[in-house]
Every structure is written in C-alpha cells, then in structure tokens.
C-alpha cells in the first residue's frame, strides 16, 4: 500500500519521494529487460508472421508505439543474448534502457565489459556521445575499405579469363554466399545425373566454384527485373482453348509478359486485380489512371492494420471475376505481401456496415486496426530488483576523444 506523504515542511519527505522515484525507475528498467526477453522469444518463434511484415511492425501495431521505437526495441532484443553483461545490468535495474539501446549499436562480447563501465559512470548523454564517436571511427575504417575495393579481369595467354577481386567484408560475404548456393545447386544436379554422366571425371571444388560463378552471371543476365509501375507490373493473358472433338474448354493458360508460367487460380486472380486485360484483341484498363489516383489519395498506403507500405496494388474486395465492379467503393490498396495473403486465403477482407475494411485471420478473428491496451496490473516490476539505476559520474568533463583512444579496439590494439 502506498504510504502517506509526509508534511511538506519535513525535508526528509522530499528526499524519500525522490528515492521512491529512483526505485520505480529501476523497476521500469528491470521490467523493460523482461519485455525484451519476451520480445526476443516472440520474434524467434515468428509469432508476428500472421500478416505483419516484421516483428517491429507487429509491435508498433500491438502496443501503439512509434515504428522507429518498435524497430529499436526489436534490435536491442536481438542483441542482448550475445551481451550477457549488459543484459544482467539492465535486468538488475542498474543501467537504463536508454544506455543499453545506445551501447548495443557498438558492443560486442569482446568490448561490452569496458563499455559497461562507461554506462555505470557516465550519463546517458555521454554514452550517446561515445557511441557516435565510436561509430565515426568505424565509418572511417569502412570508407578506407570502400576506397580499396576493386575487380580486375584480363585474358591470359591461353585464352582463359583471369578475375581478381578485392571486396569489402559485406560484399565478400554476399559473393561467398552466392557461390556456395550455386555450388550446392550444381552438386545436387551432378548427383541426380544419369549413370552415363556419372562416369565423367569428378570436378574439383575450385572447378565447381568456377562453374558456380558462371551460373550466377547467367542467372543475373537472364533475370527480368521489375521496372514497371505498381499499377501495370504484369501483363496477364488468359487463353481458353476448346477441344476440336468434344468442344469442352481446356483449363486456362496463364502467361506473363516473359512467357507462360504455371500458377494457381488464386495467384492468377491476384495478378489480374491490378493489371491490364487482353480481351478479344481489345486492351482494357482494369483500373483507369484517374480512379487509381483517387484510390491513392483516399488510402495513401496499404490498408492492412499497421502497414504503411506505399508501393501497393489496387485490390477488388469483391473480385471483378465474381462480378465486383471497378469502382472506388470496391477497391482498397494492399502492398504486394498482404495482397498475396488475401488471395491465398490466409487473410480475409470484407466491408463493414460503416464502409470500413475489416481484415480477418483464417479462423475469422478480426485484426483490429488499433488493438486495446489492457493493463491488468500483473506486469508490475518484480519485487527483487537488485539495485536502483546508478550513475556514478562525479561531474568531471567528458573527454570523448580520450575515451575512444582508451576503449576502441582500432585505437588501442591491446584491446583488439
């Protein structure tokens, strides 16, 4: 039970009030740690993967926080399992979430002990200054690497092409991953070859990587990148042929602009939601440009709860193949992901009596646009908070340059 406040004339009452505030703040830090632990588990188990783009997208929708703040919480939740010292300090309420949020941008298992000392002795503003300076040092190193990246090629005397590449760590990781994937693909193909083919000499790992590099290049050259507008990405041709003997219609053939593709009926309906239709030699726009502009002005972005994607398709709530008219009152904007979910049956969509769109999960449960925030009181801070939030700064001016020289591994090789 909350103790009564003492008389304002009693100086100790104000001090006790301040201590209560500090205790509650420490409890909030500890409770935030528990939230991050649960969020990490929820993310790992893909609890958000029921129509939402990401865990941050779900968190923003479910808890009514800013999308940027949601992304930061998910990022910190993913970082903490690799940083046990920072995690423990936050769990005990010894450092604030603000400090942990900043330090997880730069901390590694090798540096977190030194950085935790800064968190204990510095203010949140000083920790932020240190992190910004730390990241500037990292960027300078990254810029140096960027300047030295290169790829050269020349033809050898025997006609072979010699390639030499010097890539940044990020570029190198992508190229290595692509080579591994292509090599695995070629290896599986070789294992599935005919017995006669298996009599051929086995290729070495280096030879397979050469073949994999060529396969990557061929795949890139053959790729048809999506360069069209959101309203005219696909050209759909539905061809129905009649049998010459029995007159029965064969199943329709669906063709994309780059050739025939076998797709399901629901996929064909999704593609044709927002595309052009060829009918008896006449080209008819399913959604005229003027109507598309009105739809974009009305919806602004994807209408799925919590989604703010602006590159969208126009979706017929009652599909035009089922008699749904191409009018503003029967159209909504959906991003490509949610458009696919609606047509595949994972998400249902309907109109409410007030004219608003309602999204439902497969079981029929409504996806609220703004879920209620119901606090039952059971999520109070734990009683056994190890200690209140500490800040041991003694007022000495903060020399961020000196701190970087002492703490950063590149500035101090002893900490490498």
Q: How confident is the model at residue 74 (pLDDT cuts 50, 70, 90)?
A: very high
**Who's near 78: CB < 8 A, 6+ residues apart?**
40, 43
DSSP state for residue 249 in the 8-state scheme: B
Please tell me the distance from the alpha carbon of residue 46 to that of residue 227, in angstroms, as a whole number: 32
Please tell me the distance from the alpha carbon of residue 196 to that of residue 192, in angstroms, as a whole number: 11
Does the residue 33 lie in any domain? Answer: yes
Query: Which residue has tokens 């009105």?
Result: 294
Does the residue 349 lie in any domain? Answer: no
**Who's near 295: CB < 8 A, 6+ residues apart?**
287, 314, 328, 331, 332, 333
Q: Are residues 38 and 83 in the same domain?
A: yes
Does the residue 171 lie in any domain? Answer: yes
Q: Are residues 184 and 282 in the same domain?
A: no
Does the residue 305 lie in any domain? Answer: no
Mean pLDDT (the chain) is: 76
Q: Average of pLDDT values for 283-301?
A: 78
Task: Tell me what pLDDT residue 51 has.
Answer: 83
Which residue, of 244, 268, 286, is where some domain finishes? Answer: 286
Q: Are residues 15 and 95 in the same domain?
A: yes
Please tell me the distance from the alpha carbon of residue 407 to that of residue 130, in angstroms, as a whole number: 10
- Asked if residue 398 has pLDDT above 70, the reply is yes
Domains of the chain: total = 3
Partnered with residue 133 across adjacent β-strands are none
pLDDT in tens, 120-131: 988 888 899 999
Range of the domain at 241: 232-286
Q: Are residues 122 and 49 in the same domain?
A: yes
pLDDT in tens, 348-374: 888 888 878 888 888 888 888 767 654
Q: Find the range with the poorest average confidence among 44-48, 128-132, 379-383, 389-393.
A: 379-383
- Asked if residue 286 has pLDDT above 70, the reply is no
Q: Are residues 178 and 58 in the same domain?
A: no
Q: How confident is the model at residue 264 (pLDDT cuts 50, 70, 90)?
A: low
Query: Which residue has tokens 């919806």?
Result: 299
pLDDT in tens, 146-197: 777 889 988 888 888 899 998 888 788 889 988 998 888 888 777 765 444 4
Does the residue 292 lie in any domain? Answer: no
Please tell me the distance from the alpha carbon of residue 269 to that of residue 243, in angstroms, as a whole number: 24
CA atoms within 13 A of residue 115's CA, in its CB half-sphere = 28
Both ends of the chain: CA-CA distance in Å? 52
Q: Are residues 139 and 157 in the same domain?
A: no
Q: Find the range with the poorest average confidence among 83-92, 164-173, 181-190, 389-398.
A: 389-398
| DSSP output for 32-65 | HHHHHHHHHHHHHTTTTTTT-SSHHHHHHHHHT-
Does the residue 293 lie in any domain? Answer: no
Tokens standing for 227? Answer: 């360069």
Q: Are residues 139 and 15 in the same domain?
A: yes
| DSSP output for 98-113 | HHHHHHTTT--TTTHH
Q: Please state whether 262 falls in left (phi above 0), alpha (psi between -120 and 50) or beta.
A: beta
**CB-CB contact of 274 with 314 (8 Å):** yes
Q: Are residues 138 and 157 in the same domain?
A: no
Ordered alpha helix ranges (H), 253-381: 265-271, 289-299, 336-344
* Closest by CA position to 99, among listed 80, 73, 123, 78: 123
Q: Are residues 110 and 22 in the same domain?
A: yes
Does the residue 326 lie in any domain? Answer: no
Please tell me the distance from the alpha carbon of residue 376 to that of residue 109, in angstroms, as a whole number: 37
Angstrom CA distances, 315 to 5, 83, 230, 234, 248, stand at 60, 45, 12, 14, 32
Does the residue 89 lie in any domain? Answer: yes
- Asked if residue 4 has pLDDT above 90, the reply is no
| DSSP output for 212-237 | HHHHHHHHHHH-----S-TTS--EEE
Q: Are residues 21 and 136 in the same domain?
A: yes
* Closest by CA position to 101, among listed 28, 36, 46, 26: 36
Tokens standing for 246? Answer: 């029995």
* Closest by CA position to 185, among listed 148, 215, 142, 141: 215
Q: Are residues 181 and 259 in the same domain?
A: no
Q: Are residues 125 and 174 in the same domain?
A: no
- Residue 313 DSSP SS3: strand
Which residue, of 176, 191, 219, is where some domain finishes? Answer: 219
Please tell me the distance from the alpha carbon of residue 138 to that of residue 187, in angstroms, as a whole number: 39
């Amino acid at each position: 039970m909350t103790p009564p406040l003492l008389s304002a004339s009693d100086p100790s009452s104000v001090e006790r009030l301040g201590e209560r505030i500090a205790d509650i703040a420490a409890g909030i830090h500890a409770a935030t740690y528990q939230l991050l632990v649960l969020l990490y588990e929820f993310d790992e188990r893909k609890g958000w993967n029921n129509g939402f783009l990401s865990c941050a997208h779900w968190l923003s929708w479910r808890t009514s926080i800013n999308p940027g703040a949601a992304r930061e919480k998910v990022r910190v939740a993913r970082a903490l399992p690799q940083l046990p010292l920072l995690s423990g300090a936050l769990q005990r309420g010894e450092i604030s979430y603000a400090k942990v949020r900043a330090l997880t941008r730069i901390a590694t298992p090798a540096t977190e002990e030194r950085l935790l000392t800064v968190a204990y002795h510095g203010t949140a503003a000083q920790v932020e200054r240190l992190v910004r300076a730390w990241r500037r040092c990292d960027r300078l190193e990254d810029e140096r690497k960027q300047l030295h990246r290169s790829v050269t090629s020349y033809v050898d005397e025997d006609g072979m092409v010699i390639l030499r590449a010097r890539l940044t760590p990020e570029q190198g990781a992508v190229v290595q991953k692509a080579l591994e994937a292509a090599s695995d693909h070629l290896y599986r193909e070789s294992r599935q070859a005919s017995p006669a083919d298996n009599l051929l000499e086995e290729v070495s790992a280096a030879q397979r990587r050469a073949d994999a590099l060529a396969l990557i290049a061929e795949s890139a050259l053959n790729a048809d990148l999506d360069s069209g507008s959101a309203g005219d990405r696909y050209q759909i041709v539905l061809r129905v042929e009649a049998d010459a003997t029995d007159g029965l219609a064969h199943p329709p053939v669906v063709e994309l602009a780059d050739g025939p593709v076998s797709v399901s009926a629901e996929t064909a309906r999704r593609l044709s939601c927002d595309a052009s239709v060829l009918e008896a030699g006449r080209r008819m726009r399913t959604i005229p440009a003027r109507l598309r502009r009105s739809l974009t002005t009305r919806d602004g972005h994807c209408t799925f709860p919590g989604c703010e994607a602006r590159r969208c398709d126009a979706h017929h709530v009652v599909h035009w193949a089922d008699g749904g008219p191409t009018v503003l009152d029967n159209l909504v904007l959906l991003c490509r992901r949610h458009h696919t979910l609606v047509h595949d049956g994972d998400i249902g969509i309907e109109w409410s009596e007030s004219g608003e769109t309602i999204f439902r999960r497969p079981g029929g449960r409504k996806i609220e646009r703004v879920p209620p925030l119901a606090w039952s009181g059971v999520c109070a801070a734990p009683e056994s908070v190890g200690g209140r939030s500490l800040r041991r700064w003694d007022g000495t001016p903060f020399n961020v340059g000196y701190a970087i020289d002492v703490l950063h591994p590149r500035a101090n090789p002893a900490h490498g």
